[in-house]
Chains A and B, each alone.
Chain A
Amino acid sequence: MEMNINTFEQLHNECISRNKAIYEIAQENMASSADISVDEVRAFTNRSLFAMKEAIQTGMASRELSMSGMCGQDCHRVQRRFETVPAIFGKTFEKIIEYALATSEENIRMGKIVACPTAGSCGILPATLTAVSEDFNYSEREQINALITAGEIGRIISVKVALAGAVAGCQAECGTASAMSAAAICQLRGGNVSQILNASALALKNLLGLTCDPVAGLVEVPCVKRNPFLAIHSITAVELALSGVESKIPIDEVIDAMEQTGALMSPTLKESSQAGLATTKTALEVQKRVFG
């Protein structure tokens, strides 16, 4: 039987009363609503997981520039440095930055990626999920559990807030991706339902008000570099949540705040490139060069 879960409170209660993990509830409901088996839900998820890893590999090896010429070689720069100088926080930190850049750069050169939840935010979750799984030996089964957990977080956010920069700013795209990433890693690291929801809330709370002001209307500046930043951001939320740090504002109320903030945000800052970074002197020069 499909449960109609529209809030995190409902999800939490459902998990507690049936003694199930978020991914178990989510995969059952998805199976029921699409009239398929749980195994088919997991197979679908595995295809997304596979495509995420493929995008990372392809992106790590490419130096091709985007059409505008603004982006495409930062992943290479970072890799080259880490070959000789280790990052302050160690190998997993390096990988997360590299993988997020690799995926986002692959996106802007019209490569194949997974919109998760959107194309502009496609580097965040795959970077943390892959890097942490590689370095801490999480199985494919555990990674699928984590990705389904993340998907359920994104789905419930999207009940209230459209996951589109044009509607609610970047908080709804990269913000949601970061909350999803926090949930996925919290699930991998053995977090319970409350800890997972807290991790998502903590990640999201610190991104409220994030605008969408892309230079020349392209998914490049600041989008590409925002992906590694928010991937790392989500790990901070995980470490806090797993230590028992709670979001004083419950996640459902954080989503309410996000919806309100999105509605109050000026349309000029919501994917219309009419303000913010998009109308700086340099941005206007880029726009003229690219589109004439």
Chain B
Amino acid sequence: MKKSTLFDIISPVMVGPSSSHTAGAVRLGLLARNIYKNKPEKVIFKLYNSYAHTGKGHGTEKGLLAGVLGLRVDDRRIKDIFNSDIAKEIEYEFEYCDNFKYHPNAVDMTFIGKNNMFISGESVGAGEIAVRKINDFTVKLTGKYNTVLIVYKDMPGMISQVSSVLQYHNINIASLFCDRNAKGKEASMVISVDGNISPDIVDIIEEIPEVYFVSYIEKLEH
């Protein structure tokens, strides 16, 4: 278990009633928004288990949509989000499902728009969240750190090339998570850092040969 800080205990300031089912849902939506970056035309939310069963009474659906629309956990507009003007800007749909292989508070979000993206996450308690999957890749994003997501060809030396760019710019890696579809095929690297990474450093990483795609995902505000 990741250790809580003093700030975690005396915050967040949030719209109720549940840190996991309301604030956690907003933060999952917000982090997915940071990952997808563009404005989606449509988002399909698939709620699992406890999220599916008790979400309605906890404003979970409202929270997820509000997050995707960029509202923070303490925004009073969350309560009436379905009737708000900003909710009319995109289409959305909710599905409900039981699957005990999933976390009790899990949600799959399918973003449809300029490009389509599948993002799966869970609300792990006290408003803390984790995004576990982006498209086919297993990742681990908590929204607590600025993070760079890199998709590249699975081959020797890629981690060291990326980390030496970060080292050169004096950026400290807080955590590193790698996954691949199959040996020698596409692989993913999720690097969380202390501080932030400027766009020109992201560009430098993107220019490394056999790097297909780089996305910089900003952390969520506390």
Interface residues of A (CB under 8 A from B): 26-27, 29-30, 33-35, 41, 44-45, 47-48, 51, 66-68, 106-120, 122, 147-148, 150-152, 154-155, 158-159, 162-164, 166-167, 180, 216-220, 273, 290-291
A100 to B148, CA, bound (A): 43
A66 to B17, CA, bound (A): 10
A116 to B6, CA, bound (A): 11
Take A117-B126, A155-B5, A290-B57 as given contacts and tell me if A111 and B16 are in contact as well, using a CB distance cutoff of 8 Å.
yes
Q: Give the 3 A-B residue pairs with the shortest CB-CB distance, closest first.
A: A107-B16, A217-B54, A154-B9
Q: Are B16 and A109 in contact (CB under 8 A)?
A: yes
Nearest-CB distance from B161 to chain A (Å)? 28
Chain B residues within 8 Å of A180, by CB: 9
* B86 close to A (CB within 8 Å): no
Chain A residues within 8 Å of B121, by CB: none
Nearest-CB distance from B146 to chain A (Å)? 13
Interface residues of B in 76-110 (CB under 8 A from A): 76, 78-79, 104
* B18 close to A (CB within 8 Å): yes
Chain A residues within 8 Å of B58, by CB: 218-219
Q: Are A68 and B15 in contact (CB under 8 A)?
A: no
Take A67-B57, A217-B53, A217-B54 as given contacts and tell me if A120 and B18 are in contact as well, using a CB distance cutoff of 8 Å.
yes
Chain A residues within 8 Å of B222, by CB: 44
Q: Are B76 and A48 in contact (CB under 8 A)?
A: no
A212 to B8, CA, bound (A): 22
Chain A residues within 8 Å of B53, by CB: 217, 291
A68 to B59, CA, bound (A): 12
A147 to B11, CA, bound (A): 11
Take A110-B79, A114-B12, A119-B19 as given contacts and tell me if A291 and B57 are in contact as well, using a CB distance cutoff of 8 Å.
yes
Q: Are B19 and A115 in contact (CB under 8 A)?
A: yes
Q: Are A110 and B4 in contact (CB under 8 A)?
A: no
Nearest-CB distance from B72 to chain A (Å)? 11
Nearest-CB distance from B209 to chain A (Å)? 35
Interface residues of B in 21-36 (CB under 8 A from A): 22-23
Q: Are A114 and B10 in contact (CB under 8 A)?
A: yes
Chain A residues within 8 Å of B12, by CB: 114-115
Q: Total number of A-B contacts with CB less than 8 angstroms? A: 146
* B127 close to A (CB within 8 Å): yes
Q: Are B15 and A111 in contact (CB under 8 A)?
A: yes
Chain A residues within 8 Å of B125, by CB: 162-164, 166-167
Nearest-CB distance from A3 to chain B (Å)? 13
Interface residues of B in 165-222 (CB under 8 A from A): 194, 222
* B56 close to A (CB within 8 Å): yes
Nearest-CB distance from A16 to chain B (Å)? 20
* B74 close to A (CB within 8 Å): yes
Q: Which residue of B lies closest to A223 (CB)?
A: B17
Chain A residues within 8 Å of B3, by CB: 158-159
Contact partner of B16 among A113, A150, A164, CB < 8 A?
A: A113
Q: Are B74 and A117 in contact (CB under 8 A)?
A: no
Q: Are B9 and A116 in contact (CB under 8 A)?
A: yes
A33 to B222, CA, bound (A): 15
A164 to B124, CA, bound (A): 9
Chain A residues within 8 Å of B10, by CB: 45, 48, 114, 116-117, 147-148, 150-151, 154
Q: Which residue of B lies closest to A114 (CB)?
A: B13
Contact partner of B74 among A51, A108, A150, CB < 8 A?
A: A51
Can you report 25 A-B residue pairs in the complex whose CB atoms are below 8 A from each other? A45-B10, A47-B13, A48-B10, A48-B11, A51-B13, A109-B16, A110-B15, A110-B17, A110-B79, A111-B16, A111-B79, A112-B14, A112-B74, A113-B16, A114-B13, A117-B126, A119-B22, A119-B23, A122-B16, A151-B9, A155-B8, A155-B9, A164-B125, A217-B53, A219-B17
